[in-house]
């Protein structure tokens, strides 16, 4: 049975989930100390793992280093600090004093104070399925400078070796999966950009270098934060490895004092014994069940107008696109950039969120009515956190942007970042967004953010560094407030593609824009890295035109559709110019997607063959009695014979019926030998197979 046990004689807490156990204790000095994280154990067995604190055997090596639950700076602690403080008199060391703890069925709070200074620390632990959420809360009666406040330190067991799995990338090349041996010393993954970032993502997985997609123990840590962040792995010469993670960055401090508590974001940890595939499925289940705001809804097939029109937007042009999209079976029509005053290029207009009457003479109402009349929902692109210097807003409020006195205001994409930590900016943003959604019947916002922070100053503010945290919290809060004001509103998070994908934004966005790169071959790799942690039901994927605007590559329409159908299907091409054969194929594939959508968006993902080369890659989704398989041959070499594809997640005692040709297959054979794919010959060959368990 899952739950929380306090072993009073050992001053230890045991948190048990369905398939894992986590335990910690207080040492002789009240320091919260890690005991165990791994396969499920009875609470009664945990005392066998508790040893006494060992004395130093010389003046340089601490035999207990790396075991703290929240590694605090000070004294003879030299491990990577998760908590660094500076009190008003200059004292930096922390000395723990346990006060009390309280628990509910799934939430443990352990309360501490500093032994001398009026500082209170609460460590939070909460199980959500097999994922353990941890965060830290600081409060003080006098001002305290917090140099670093990570959410948690995660202590891994002693393994034969340590290997790190993580993703790297850049614009149009996000979430590229890497696996590498963990170096000794500190390895930091981070974003200093004020957003989650394209170049890394706030999660890391650790195994002993023997785990595969199907076998082996995997430990994972992910941070629920959409601003600057860092995760640090520390591997000592004695073999221990920890992961410490939280918001913030070097040189940016927090202040805690009367009425100014600090609560860190959730750091989520997961142990699985079934390899990276089981880890991915467990993370997906956690996101669907405990993170996403509307996890049981099916995400609609959308059309986005950007690649068809760019900034050349007109009411008639959008009407024509909407009519063509509806004929394809699209359920959500999204008007992208260029609908507001002064927005004929990316040089001007951001901040002046008023409908351009030269393009929409009677406002957006007539277009919205047309879209709704065609049976589709209406969505619109916004970029609330940005302003062009060439805008009425900036001319009226130049102090609203991030800036430092006597320093240039660096522009990227001809725009500056508004300081959402300011109450007046927050209220301005809510006011116009609330009116935009409410007055026009907007069903969907594509929320974009097209540049990182720079000159992140706040002249006249006593604690300017707080903007790094408060901006992100304000964005989250604004999304939450809009959703509360407009319960039918749905949101897609975007930041120049995949620059804002994390557990924090997914708690208030229904889906994320994975990358501006829609090239089908590149997307196979981007989507593979994305799927390590995040589910397909939140992954927006579009079919766009040939040649692709990022890569210049041309790929058959069927292949493009099949790649996008492995997530939340969207269409972004200039469909007015598509030939009749392409439109007919698109209608057929949209209908197919609607049939398989519950399996893709809600099912368990099995990555059967990863896109590690240019051969065949394959995915399988299993939901209730249905299975959907996507197979893609990228390039054909030497007339190589096709291998059967071994499936996973099926019941060997049942037979499975192919929904297209009616043939039946033994579940045991599909698991043991595999399924003949029958891919078409040549390059860019793809296929979708639908199987249903025979009752």
Q: Is 254 helix (H, G, I), strand (E, B) or coil?
A: strand
Peptide linkage before 401 cis (omega within 30 of 0): no
Residues 6 or more apart whose Cβ sits within 8 Å of residue 291: 224, 503, 506, 507
> What backbone phi and psi angles, to 5 degrees, belong to 273?
-110, 5
CB environment 140-161: b (16+ within 10 A), e (fewer):
beeebbbbbbbbbbbbbeebee
Tokens of 671: 């698991």
Residues 6 or more apart whose Cβ sits within 8 Å of residue 440: 363, 364, 365, 368, 378, 380
- Phi-psi domain of 552 (left: phi exceeds 0; alpha: psi -120 through 50; beta: other): left
Helix (H) or strand (E) holding 475: helix 467-485
Which residue out of 68, 516, 519, 522 is catalytically annotated? 516
How many other C-beta atoms can be found within 10 angstroms of the C-beta atom of residue 507?
18
Tell how strand 302-304 and strand 332-335 pair up.
parallel
C-alpha–C-alpha distance, residues 262 and 32, integer Å: 20
Cα distances (Å, whole numbers) of residue 435 to 11, 66, 440, 461? 55, 52, 8, 30
C-alpha–C-alpha distance, residues 54 and 67, integer Å: 12
C-alpha–C-alpha distance, residues 267 and 503, integer Å: 9
Sheet of 626-633, strand order = 604-609, 616-623, 626-633, 685-693, 655-658, 664-666
CB 234 within 8 A of CB 221: no
Which residue out of 68, 73, 207, 448 is catalytically annotated? 448
CB 495 within 8 A of CB 509: no
How many other C-beta atoms can be found within 10 angstroms of the C-beta atom of residue 109?
15
Residues placed in the known binding site for substrate: 171, 336-337, 413, 446-450, 494, 516
Closest to 346 (Cα-Cα) out of 417, 415, 400: 415
Annotation says 581 is catalytic? no
C-alpha–C-alpha distance, residues 526 and 530, integer Å: 6
Helix (H) or strand (E) holding 244: strand 241-247
Note the residue count of the chain: 695
The dihedral built from the CA positions of residue 62, 67, 68 and 73, taken in this order, carries a sign that is positive
Annotation says 352 is catalytic? no
Cα distances (Å, whole numbers) of residue 185 to 9, 66, 67, 190, 241? 36, 12, 16, 16, 9
Tokens of 264: 């860190």
The dihedral built from the CA positions of residue 16, 21, 22 and 26, taken in this order, carries a sign that is positive
Q: How many CA atoms lie within 13 A of 218 on its CB side?
A: 30
User: For the chain, what is the radius of gyration of the CA atoms?
Assistant: 26
Residues placed in the known binding site: 171, 336-337, 413, 446-450, 494, 516
> What backbone phi and psi angles, to 5 degrees, belong to 475?
-65, -45
Return the bridge partners of 176, or none: 168
Residue 47 gets which letter from DSSP?
Answer: G
Q: How many helices (H) and strands (E) are present in the chain, helices listed first?
A: 11, 37
Q: Can you say how many angstroms the Cα of residue 129 is from the centroid of all Cα atoms in its chain?
A: 18
Residue 394 gets which letter from DSSP?
Answer: H
Q: Which residues are catalytic?
A: 448, 516
């Amino acid at each position: 049975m899952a739950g929380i046990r306090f072993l009073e004689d050992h001053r230890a807490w045991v948190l048990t989930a369905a398939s894992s156990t986590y335990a910690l204790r207080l040492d002789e000095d009240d320091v919260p100390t890690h005991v165990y994280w791994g396969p499920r154990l009875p609470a009664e067995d945990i005392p066998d793992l508790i040893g006494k604190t060992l004395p130093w055997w010389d003046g340089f090596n601490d035999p207990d280093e790396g075991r703290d639950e929240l590694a605090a700076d000070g004294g003879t602690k030299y491990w990577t600090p998760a908590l660094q403080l500076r009190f008003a008199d200059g004292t930096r060391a922390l000395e723990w004093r346990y006060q009390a703890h309280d628990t509910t069925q799934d939430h443990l709070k352990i309360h501490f104070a500093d032994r001398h200074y009026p500082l209170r620390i609460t460590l939070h632990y909460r199980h959500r399925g097999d994922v353990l959420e941890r965060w830290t809360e600081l409060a003080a009666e006098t001002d305290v400078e917090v140099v670093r406040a990570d959410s948690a330190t995660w202590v891994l067991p002693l393994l034969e070796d340590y290997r790190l799995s993580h993703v790297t990338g850049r614009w149009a090349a996000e979430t590229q999966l890497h696996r590498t041996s963990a170096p000794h010393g500190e390895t930091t993954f981070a974003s200093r950009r004020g957003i989650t970032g394209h170049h890394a993502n706030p999660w890391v997985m650790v195994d002993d270098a023997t785990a595969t997609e199907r076998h082996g123990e995997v430990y994972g840590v992910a941070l629920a934060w959409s601003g600057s962040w860092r995760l640090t792995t520390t591997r000592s010469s004695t073999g221990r490895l920890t992961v410490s993670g939280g918001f913030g960055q070097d040189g940016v401090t927090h202040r805690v004092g009367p009425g100014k508590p600090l609560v860190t974001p959730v750091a989520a940890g997961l142990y699985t014994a079934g390899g990276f595939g089981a880890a991915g499925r467990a993370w997906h289940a956690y996101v669907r069940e405990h993170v996403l705001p509307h996890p049981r809804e099916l995400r609609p097939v959308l059309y986005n107008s950007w690649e068809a029109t760019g900034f050349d937007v007109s009411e008639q042009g959008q009407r024509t696109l909407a009519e063509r999209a509806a004929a394809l079976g699209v359920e959500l029509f999204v008007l992208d950039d260029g609908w507001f005053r002064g927005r004929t290029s990316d040089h001007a207009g951001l901040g002046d969120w008023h409908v351009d009457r030269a393009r929409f003479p009677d406002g957006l109402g007539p277009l919205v009515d047309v879209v709704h009349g065609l049976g589709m929902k209406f969505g619109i692109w916004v970029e609330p956190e940005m302003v062009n210097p060439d805008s009425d807003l900036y001319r009226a409020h130049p102090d609203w942007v991030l800036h430092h006195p006597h320093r240039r205001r660096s522009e990227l994409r001809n725009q500056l970042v508004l300081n959402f930590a300011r109450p007046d900016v927050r209220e301005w943003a809510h006011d116009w967004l609330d009116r935009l959604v409410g007055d026009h019947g907007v069903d969907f916002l594509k929320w974009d953010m097209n540049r990182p922070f720079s000159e992140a100053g706040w002249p006249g503010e006593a604690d300017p560094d707080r903007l790094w945290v408060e901006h992100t919290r304000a964005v989250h809060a604004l999304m939450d407030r809009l959703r509360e004001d407009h319960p039918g509103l749905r949101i897609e998070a975007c930041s120049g593609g995949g620059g804002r994908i994390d557990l924090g934004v997914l708690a208030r966005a229904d889906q994320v824009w994975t990358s501006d790169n829609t090239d089908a071959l590149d997307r196979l790799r981007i989507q593979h890295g994305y799927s390590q942690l995040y589910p397909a039901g939140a992954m927006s994927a579009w079919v766009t035109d040939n040649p692709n605007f990022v890569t210049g590559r041309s790929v058959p329409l069927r292949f493009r559709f099949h790649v996008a159908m492995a997530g939340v299907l969207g269409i972004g091409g200039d469909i007015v110019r598509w030939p009749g054969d392409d439109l007919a194929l698109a209608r057929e594939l949209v209908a197919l997607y609607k049939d398989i959508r519950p399996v893709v968006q809600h099912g368990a993902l099995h990555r059967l063959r990863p896109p590690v080369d240019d051969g065949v890659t394959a995915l399988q989704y299993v939901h209730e009695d249905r299975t959907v398989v996507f197979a893609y041959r990228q390039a054909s070499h030497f007339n190589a014979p096709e291998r059967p594809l071994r499936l996973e997640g099926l019941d060997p005692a049942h037979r499975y019926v192919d929904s297209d040709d009616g043939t039946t297959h033994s579940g045991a054979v599909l698991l043991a030998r595999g399924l003949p794919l029958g891919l078409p010959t040549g390059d860019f060959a793809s296929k979708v197979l639908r199987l249903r368990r025979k009752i």
